Amino acid sequence: MNKTDLSSYLHSAAHRKDPILKRILWFYINAFIFKTSWLPFNWPKVQLLRLFGASVGSAVIIRPGVNIKHPWLLHIGNHSWIGENVWIDNLVSVHIGNHVCLSQGALILTGSHNYKDPAFGLITAPIILEDGVWIGARTIVNLGITAGSHAVLAAGAIATKDLEPWTVYQGNPAVKIRSRSIHPNTQN
């Protein structure tokens, strides 16, 4: 029986085409501006993301403590919110639509490892969060997931398959619990 052999893993194979200086510069900008809470202002973060190749719409809110792996693989639509301590681990494309809310501590994971491969090979797939999606606090969205328009992933849930539009999901793995409806002028 074969055993795991991490010495044969190819580190950073997915991003060798990205210039090393660009990756190093982003590492420090991400660490000192995005992942910290000392810069509460939004506009410098949006401008830095755009400078590094991200597509960022208007009126996007990026809270403190956000970790973004590769901004050049990120698209954020208009009026979307990225909450405190969200981690966008985008080894490949992440598309966040308009009016999307990523709540505190959400993990957006485009990569994993092949546990059947002795070298623990990297597996990646893009993530798409369509317009109006709400990804709740402390959730995980796994690689290859598409969350349909206005889907909700409730706090603490783990998405292991696509989320249907206008549907609320909960649990681990996330399961459909009800349809979502939005009523104007309602509170609580």
Question: What average pLDDT does the chain have?
Answer: 93
User: Which positions ≥6 away from 44 have C-beta within 8 Å?
Assistant: 33
Domain-embedded: residue 9: no
Domain-embedded: residue 8: no
Q: Where residue 135 sits, what CATH number does that domain have? A: 2.160.10.10
Domain-embedded: residue 188: no
Share of the chain above pLDDT 90, in %: 81
Domain total in the chain = 1
Report the candidate in 116, 83, 140, 113 with the shortest Cα–Cα distance to residue 2. 116
Domain-embedded: residue 128: yes
Show the domain range for 108: 19-176
What is the side-by-side strand order in the sheet with 134-135? 61-62, 81-82, 101-102, 134-135, 152-153, 167-170, 175-179
Domain-embedded: residue 163: yes
What is the side-by-side strand order in the sheet with 140-141? 67-68, 87-89, 107-109, 140-141, 158-159
Bridge partners for 123 per DSSP: 112
Domain-embedded: residue 145: yes
Domain-embedded: residue 5: no
Domain-embedded: residue 116: yes
Bridge partners for 116 per DSSP: none
Both tokens assigned to 32:
């000192």
pLDDT of residue 16: 64
Host H or E run for residue 73: none
Alpha-carbon dihedral 137, 139, 145, 146, rounded to 10 degrees: -20
pLDDT tens for the chain, 188 residues long, are 789 888 888 765 555 678 889 999 999 999 999 999 888 788 999 999 999 999 999 999 999 999 999 999 999 999 999 999 999 999 999 999 999 999 999 999 999 999 999 998 999 999 999 999 999 999 999 999 999 999 999 999 999 999 999 999 999 999 999 999 998 876 65
CA pair distance 159, 174, nearest whole angstrom: 5
Say whether 113 is catalytic: yes
Bridge partners for 167 per DSSP: 179
Bridge partners for 112 per DSSP: 123
The active-site residue out of 11, 70, 113, 183 is 113
What is the tens place of the pLDDT at every residue in 157-184? 999 999 999 999 999 999 999 999 998 8
Pairing mode, strands 107-109 and 140-141: parallel
